[in-house]
Amino acid sequence: MRYYSKDHEWLYIVGDTGEVGITNHAQNQLGDIVFCEAEPPGTALAAGEAAGAVESVKAASDILTPVSGEIIAVNPDPQREPSLLNSAPEETWVFRIRLSDPAELAGLLDEGAYSAFCDE
Amino acid sequence: MRTPLYDEHIAAGAKMTAYCGWELPLHYGGILAEHVAVRRRAGVFDVSHMGEIYLSGAGAFDFLQALLTNDMRRLETKPWVYSPMCGESGGTVDDVVAYRHGDGFLLCVNAANTEKDFAWIRQNAPPGVCVENVSDSFAQLALQGPAAADVLKKADLSAVLLQSGTGYTGERGFELFLPPAAAPKLWREMTEAGAQPCGLGARDLLRTEASLPLYGHELDEDISPVEAGLERFVCFEKGNFIGRGALAGVRPPRRLIGLTAQGRAVPRAGCEVLGDGVPLGKVTSGCFSPGPARGIAMALVTGEAEKYEIVIRDKAEPAVLTGMPFYRRAK
């Protein structure tokens, strides 16, 4: 199941872990993305903390983790080829996190609610 | 405020942004695509937000010589001259392009500074010199790139009031002043002839690669043109001018340097620059440069170092000293 945050990250849940990336809306607002990084595996974060960053030609933007937990993997693909986040934002995860509090998922949006949020 | 080309921008799908009180195009779909169009073919920018101040009257030339740091006698042989305009302390009030126009001189000034410049110039003008803010009378288009001349040939230039071989991209090109009402037709002719509409995003990237200063970044009231590496536009031989006393014979401790980031993080204005681990100054402009696919930065620093770093998101990223301009077009 895929969740969305109001900070324009998506979270795809598999068991007690989730893959996190930036939404299509986010990449659209950022424009040409030229840089992507994430905190290394082992980093423990609270929901809403910066887990990484993307930079477009225009500006830098933090990637905030939608849920609390520990980073368990970082995807090398968008670091090698940042434009993947423009061309395939919802297929390109940036980091994988092990959730410490699955109850936080209730505070996130589903696809319909996120889409409505972006249209506001 | 909107330029006379606002409707053209919207029709072309521009993402608009606020800049100095103006609604201007940031890009029309992709900054990198616009950047490459200017480097390889031709791009056209709406720069109608720029201010224009007209000086006329018997003493206008002598006043211009006193007002600007460059030697305005250059206007005898060329139609335009670039110059910083300094205050008494040597800080930069603005940087301008002066044109011969009619019986007087037209100064093209930064949009952010139009009101300030107008007040400064009026305050310093001697009796007999007429100073007018004529910004509302002009639209301005910048056509830039190796194919700019070909595009220009296909356009009807009958409405153009003033034209120069200038620009802000490091490419060959033209800047054209015309009445606001005539601007949409010329804009359409240029885009139909193949010029890519370009926004402020590409403009900033192109000018940073070409190491051209932007007022408020490389220049301001506290930064002299000498510190910004513009001493070739400060002519001490011509006689007195405002700021001369503060600038003459002084070797300022700060200077503008070019840096290329070695990692992929992009330096931005305000990032701290370290030399051998010690703070030396700050980045004045930084961007991602598509050619090297690296971040580039201009920085105002004190002193020299063996090893440079730029602090990006709390991390000291290695950078190498790079001669400016970062980009120089093939001759």
For the stretch B139-189, pLDDT in tens is 999 999 999 999 999 999 999 999 999 999 999 999 999 999 999 999 999
d(CA B120, CA B122): 6
Q: Give the pLDDT of residue A58.
A: 82
Q: Give the pLDDT of residue A103.
A: 94
pLDDT above 80: residue B86: yes
pLDDT above 80: residue B299: yes
Q: Give the pLDDT of residue B251.
A: 87
For the stretch A7-45, pLDDT in tens is 999 999 998 999 999 999 999 999 999 999 999 999 999
Give yes or no for a contact between B177 and B139, defined as CB atoms under 8 angstroms apart: yes
| Sheet hosting strand A50-56, strand order edge to edge | A33-38, A50-56, A60-64
Nearest Cα of chain A lies from the Cα of B11 at a distance, in angstroms, of 19
d(CA B178, CA A108): 53
pLDDT above 80: residue B331: no
Instruction: Report the pLDDT averaged over residues A43-51.
Output: 96
Q: Give the pLDDT of residue B133.
A: 98
Closest chain A CA to residue B26: A58
| 8 Å CB contact of A60 and B313 | yes
Instruction: Report the pLDDT averaged over residues B84-103.
Output: 97
Residue B159: which H helix or E strand, with range? none
For the stretch B18-59, pLDDT in tens is 999 999 999 998 899 999 999 999 999 999 999 999 999 999
Of B32, B265, B268, the CB nearest to A32: B32
- For residue B265, count other CB atoms closer than 10 A to its CB: 22
Residue partners of B325: CB distance under 8 A and separation at least 6: B170, B209, B210, B211, B212, B258
What pTM did the predictor assign?
A: 0.92
Instruction: Report the pLDDT averaged over residues A71-90.
Output: 96
Q: Give the pLDDT of residue B190.
A: 98
pLDDT above 90: residue A120: no
Burial class (CB in 10 A: 0-12, 13-18, 19+), B314: exposed
- Show the beta-strand stretches assigned E in B276-314: 278-289, 294-302, 308-312
When the pLDDT of each residue in chain B is averaged and rounded to a whole number, the result is 96
Nearest Cα of chain B lies from the Cα of A82 at a distance, in angstroms, of 10
Q: Which residues of B touch A33 (CB under 8 A)?
A: none
Closest chain A CA to residue B204: A58
Closest chain B CA to residue A57: B288
Q: Give the pLDDT of residue B250.
A: 86
Burial class (CB in 10 A: 0-12, 13-18, 19+), B30: middle
Q: Which residue has the tokens 């970082």?
A: A74
Nearest Cα of chain A lies from the Cα of B260 at a distance, in angstroms, of 15
Query: Is the CA virtual torsion B294, B299, B303, B309 positive or negative?
Result: negative
When the pLDDT of each residue in chain A is averaged and rounded to a whole number, the result is 95
A27, A37, A58: best mutation site toward chain B, by most B Cβ within 10 Å?
A: A58
Closest chain B CA to residue A86: B30
Of A32, A53, A59, the CB nearest to B30: A32
* Residue percentage of chain B with pLDDT more than 90: 95
Burial class (CB in 10 A: 0-12, 13-18, 19+), A117: middle
Q: Which residues of A touch B313 (CB under 8 A)?
A: 53, 60
Closest chain B CA to residue A79: B264
Q: Give the pLDDT of residue B330.
A: 83
Q: Give the pLDDT of residue B177.
A: 98
| 8 Å CB contact of A57 and B313 | no
- The count of CB pairs under 8 A between chains A and B is 36
d(CA B301, CA B259): 11
| 8 Å CB contact of B268 and A31 | no
- In 3D space, the residue among A20, A34, A101 whose CA is nearest the CA of residue A64 turns out to be A20
Query: Is the CA virtual torsion B51, B57, B59, B61 positive or negative?
Result: positive
| 8 Å CB contact of B26 and A32 | no
Q: Give the pLDDT of residue B311.
A: 98
